[in-house]
Chain A
Amino acid sequence: MFRRLAISFVISVAAMNAMARTRPHYGGTLHVEIAGDAWERPAGVARRLVYDGLTQFDTNGTLRPALALTWEQDNNFHRWQFRLRPGVRFHDGSPMTSAAIVSSLTASCSANCPWDTVKAVGPLVIFSNDSPMTNLPALLASDQFLIALTANGDGRSPASAVGTGPFQVTGFNNGVLALAANETCWSGRAFADGIEIRVHRAVRDQWLDLSLGRADVVEVPAEQLRLAQQQHLSVIQSPPIVLLALQLGESGMLANVKARGAIAAAVDRGALYNVIFQKQGEVTASLLPQKMSGYSFLFSTERDLNRAHQLRGGLATGAITMSAEGDGAMQLAAQRIALNLHEAGFNVQMAAAGTQHADLVLRQFLIAGSDCGAAMERILWDAGLPASVADKTSEDLYKRELSILDNHRIVPLLDLPRGYAIGARLRDVHLRADGSPDLSSASLEDVR
């Protein structure tokens, strides 16, 4: 009897403990380490912790309301009207108004906005454009159009980043950005009390800190996903939502579409995929991945050096500058592409990382959402080739994409995933549609 009671007691306690572990707890500080800057675009890890957009994508890529509750278009997509969510306040306590929204949006795309005018009318934000803005709501979900407070009550710019997100900035010291939970966040209070983001930390050191328990979330670049798995890190990775593409200028030698075509034909995607990115993601020659569009396979990914020579023909050779956004694998990939182009007879000179206005720029574009037209439009917008993509059928989208790619201003190379390694004490971490970790819903297991 006593034995039965003891056994039952032990079983009950164990069950209670198990139940306790499945429930998230409030409190604790998350330690995040990244190699870059917390605010860099696209998808700097702090951006979506501090800011919200008018709209957002869920984990399935479906567009959802955020700071805007509803939206409707008018005049054949020439006009959009967004109704704001009431009761939302900025981190400094000031109310989120349509005027503040307009001010933030205007600041985020000062010269080149996807709309002609944006104005605040009561709880509404109204966008107008001479051209149809078919995918404006999806576009507003992008990293570029997150809403930040641009002027506080006395008209001055805030000292630090002020948004409406689940975390607010409390300080930045010794390379560590400190965030505290927003107690009055419209989307609910985060589980963690705070997040410390250590920036400019080498990946190797991040992994070391993770293994030592000094970090809870660290980056795993696409080319190191296999290695991370080999080292038995707890890795979460997104689908291939990052398009690695070569963006071409159209000045100088590149003003000739044949020259651009020769460059596109000369690139060896296989070497990039197999070696540099360690067979992560997918080789692609289209803007949208196969899973999304269904027609990606129609774009050939094979290298054709003969065709490259043919297209290049007797074009005058001059030096072409090339740069890559980011470091590590991006720089290596750019150097590899430069070698490929050298074989095709191009004289490519590598410029410093982040050089503006290089002839060729190796970039990453986020493939956001599940809507093909919106995603394509978003990519084109980020590439500086704004266009309204209203096509909806696969056939129309294919033709549209074909016409865009035949101009060779953008050469898709790979679709890559984004990945992070998480610590043992972290729970319920998942990646957003843009591949960034959603830490607002994460909790620490060792907090009671």
Chain B
Amino acid sequence: MSLRQRLLLLFSLTVAAAVAAVSWTVLLRIRQVFEQRDQDETALFVSQFQREFQHRSADVASAIDRIASQERVRNMAFELVQSGDTAPFLNEAQTLAQDARLDFLEIVGPDGGIVSSAQWPARFGYQEPASKATTQTPFLKREELPDGSTALGLFSVQAIHGSEPAVKLVGGVRMDQGFLADIPAAPGMQVGLYSEAQAEQAGTGNASGFDAKNFVGPDGAVPSGIKYAGLIEKARRSGHQESGVLHLTSQRDESVAATAIPLKSSAGGVLAVLTVAISRNALVAEQKQIRGIAYGVAGGGILLAIIFSLWIAARVSRPVEELARAAEEVASGRWDARVPVRGSDEVSVLAESFNHMTEQLETQRESLVQSERVAAWRELARRLAHELKNPLFPLQLTVENLARARQLPPAEFDEVFNESTHTLSMEIGNLKKIIGRFSDFSKMPKPELERVDAKDLVARVRNLYAAGSEDGPRVDVVTELEDAPMPMMVDPELLHRALSNLVLNAKDAMPDGGTVRIAARNRESKVEIRVSDTGQGLTPEECERLFTPYYTTKQHGTGLGLAIVQSVVADHAGTISVESREGQGATFVITLPRADA
């Protein structure tokens, strides 16, 4: 990843993180504020409900009490007790309930049997357990109706005044949507009352499944009532107030913060659940707005970050990149690479320093090259002087000897003359050989390429040197050749000469005898030829200078052999290197391109 991209990423992340942190904090705070508001409104509604409940309770109790004190009712109770005949009063409860505007009313005899029932006239004679309530406090009860349904009601029990034994009235009003409609609700608040149609199974606390028809609000069925099922069930089971967020539709802004409050009978069982739901529309809208702003700010910030990073890149990263490119060029050998210097900051100082450094390097390289050239010339002159001096000295002695021999008798002069001319011819031959080598080195011939297998080359060299010389130490020449073909496009003569040179050097490195090993193998797209000896080896310094022309470790040598080998190998687009440790012999490794199949 480039510096510019890193900078861009860093700036963008910084901006985004900052915006996200701020947005999250603001959203959290807003949610807390709204939740508190919802709780307050819910608590207010619940207290209103409780007040209304108490008012209704008082109303019911007073209505029942008024009925119980009516002259007509007292007379009825008296007749009932006296005669024991309930038949004449079958329809009394209906009339009384209508007059008192009660939804439920039953007249219950001293034995607890229903004398007359307004809500279920046919139930006369059956027992009414509620009549046995000892408290006069109104209570919630679920009342069964003739159509099989049940209704939740607020009931009160009152003995008819003056009746002994007591004839009781059990009456009440429905707790239904009309009851809810009387309770003022805040705008956006949805209240509902859920009462189960079927009575709970005795003792198990298990009720029938949620039925949306039994969940009503002030205006009828609560919209999306089924969504409240889980919360209502939770409140029903726990018997405590439960709260939660409900998503009425797939739209998030149609979610509500709902609270379910269980309404219990005098025995403690949950008869109904009151729900208060406050729309989260405002909260969601606020959150949306804040998110929108956050996204906008983040987007703008990222845009700014891009612009800023581009500017920074122009100021900082480009010079650095230029520096990096120039350094690569220098590394690859182009020492004349320069970087433009802009401004006067640290980066421009760095650029100036780089330019100065490359200038120095170039100057020093030129000096070094010149020095090396001078050194090479000096070495060449030294070697040449040394090589030439050797044969010239005997030449001089022979000529001087010959001049002195002129004084000798003809027979002795002839002997000296013959011996001298022989010596002169030999040394002139040496001179010619030396000059020939120098000449060869100076003008290496251009390779004439042929397709040759490395095995053949190596075999030719082995055959040439395997026999060894009759006198001198024994040197074995062994080969290790790969079976697979090792084709190369080379000049076989030049390469033979190069290999011969290496073998000869190897022999020279083993004055006490040893083994010269010539190995050849395929290495991917190359052919590798290794020439190893078991001599004394070379020091690292010797390895470094080995291929320098006129450098030699032999007492007698031109120092051109390895330079010629290197030149031949380089002409074939190959490489040569040496691996050696002092006392462990040396290995020359030639790598040549493999010819295509």
Which residues of A are in contact with B by a Cβ distance under 8 Å? Answer: 226-227, 271, 274-276, 278-279, 332-333, 335-336, 338-339, 349-350
Do B125 and A271 touch across chains, with their CB atoms under 8 A apart? yes
Contact status B123-A275, CB under 8 Å:
no
Q: Mark B108-145, 1 if CB is under 8 A from A, else 0.
A: 00000000000011111110000000000000000000
A278–B122 contact, CB under 8 A? no
Please determine whether B148 and A349 come into contact, CB atoms closer than 8 angstroms: yes
- Min Cβ gap B342→A in Å is 96
Residue B470, interface by CB 8 Å: no
Known contacts A335-B122, A339-B123; decide if A275 and B90 are in contact (CB<8 Å): yes
- With A and B bound together, what is the CA distance between A226 and B88 in angstroms? 9
Distance, CA A275 to CA B125, complexed state (A): 9
Q: Which of B86, B123, B147, B148 has the most CB of A within 10 A?
A: B148
CB of A112, distance to nearest CB on chain B (Å): 33
B484 within 8 Å of A (CB atoms): no
Contact B124 A335 (CB under 8 A): no
Residue ID in chain A nearest B85 by CB atoms: A274
User: Contact: A332 with B121, CB < 8 Å?
Assistant: yes
Kindly list chain A residues whose C-beta atoms are within 8 Å of the C-beta of B146.
Answer: 335, 338, 350
Query: How does the 8 Å CB contact mask read for B86-114 relative to A, with 1 for contact and 0 for none?
Result: 11101000000000000000000000000
Are the CB atoms of B87 and A275 closer together than 8 Å? yes
Q: Is the CB of A335 within 8 A of B87?
A: no
Closest chain A CB from B144 CB (angstroms)? 10
The chain B residues found within 8 Å of chain A, CB to CB, are 86-88, 90, 120-126, 146-148
Compute how far the CA of A338 lies from the CA of B147 in the bound complex, rounded to whole angstroms. Answer: 11
For residue A299, give the distance in angstroms from its CB to the closest CB of chain B. Answer: 24
Within the complex, the shortest CB–CB distance from A74 to chain B, in Å, comes to: 52
Q: How far is the CA of A274 from the CA of B87 in the complex (A)?
A: 6
Complex CA distance for A335 and B147, rounded to whole angstroms: 9
Given contacts A226-B88, A275-B90, A339-B122, 12 further A-B contacts (CB under 8 A): A275-B87, A275-B124, A275-B125, A278-B88, A278-B90, A332-B122, A335-B120, A335-B121, A335-B122, A335-B146, A336-B122, A350-B146
Residues of A within 8 A of B123 (CB): 339
Per the bound structure, the CA–CA distance linking A335 and B126 in Å amounts to 13
Q: In the bound complex, what is the Cα–Cα distance between A339 and B87 (angstroms)?
A: 18
Nearest A residue (CB) for B90: A275
CA distance A278 to B91 in the complex (A): 12
B121 surroundings in chain A (CB, below 8 A) = 332, 335
Given the known interface contacts A276-B90, A278-B88, A279-B87, the answer about A271 and B124 at a Cβ–Cβ threshold of 8 Å is yes
Min Cβ gap B514→A in Å is 113
Cα(A338)–Cα(B123), bound, Å: 10
Q: What are 5 A-B contacts defined by CB distance under 8 Å?
A: A271-B124, A274-B87, A335-B121, A335-B146, A349-B148
Residues in chain B near residue A332, CB distance under 8 A? 121-122
Asked if B147 contacts A339 (CB within 8 A), the reply is no
**B90 surroundings in chain A (CB, below 8 A):** 275-276, 278
Name the distance in Å between B198's Cβ and chain A's nearest Cβ: 13
A335 contact set on B, CB distance < 8 A: 120-122, 146
When the two chains form their complex, are residues A338 and B122 in contact, meaning their CB atoms are under 8 A apart?
yes
CA distance A286 to B124 in the complex (A): 26
Chain B's nearest CB lies how many Å from the CB of A29?
34
B87 and A278 contact, CB distance less than 8 A: yes
Residues of A within 8 A of B125 (CB): 271, 275
Q: Which residue of B lies closest to A272 (CB)?
A: B122
Contacts of B147 in A (CB 8 A): 350
